[in-house]
């Protein structure tokens, strides 16, 4: 999963001009890792306490699907690049 996120951050890197590139890539990456990383254990334990341990796989699948939808609707960097000074 980390390798996939790394490749996606490289692709997002092309969308932004050089003066904000680091922030534009690092901030969404940090937010996504914080939200999913901090909720995964909580959700898994909640499902276990409710007696539905297998539901955690649906949660993970939903999060993967959400990520996939984001990348499907992301603009193509060849046509919509904001880089003008390279």
Q: Which tokens go with 25?
A: 């890539």
Nearest-angstrom CA–CA distance, 70 and 77: 14
Question: Which spans in the chain are helix H?
Answer: 2-13, 21-50, 55-72
Q: What is the pLDDT of residues 29-52, one digit of tens each?
A: 788 788 777 788 888 899 999 999
- What is the number of residues in the chain? 86
Q: What is the pLDDT of residues 54-79, one digit of tens each?
A: 998 998 888 888 878 877 887 666 66
The pLDDT, as a whole number, for residue 41 is 86
The pLDDT, as a whole number, for residue 73 is 80
Nearest-angstrom CA–CA distance, 13 and 9: 6
Q: How far is CA 78 from the centre of its chain?
A: 21
**Nearest Cα to Cα of residue 27 among 51, 2, 40, 9:** 9
Q: Does the pLDDT value for residue 6 go beyond 60?
A: no
């Amino acid at each position: 999963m980390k390798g996939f996120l790394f490749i996606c951050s490289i692709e997002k890197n092309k969308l932004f001009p050089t003066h904000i590139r680091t922030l534009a890539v690092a901030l969404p990456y940090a937010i996504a890792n914080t939200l999913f990383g901090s909720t995964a254990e909580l959700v898994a334990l909640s499902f276990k306490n409710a007696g539905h341990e297998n539901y955690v796989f649906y949660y993970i699948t939903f999060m993967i699907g959400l990520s996939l939808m984001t990348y499907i609707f992301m603009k193509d960097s060849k046509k919509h690049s904001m880089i003008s000074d390279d």
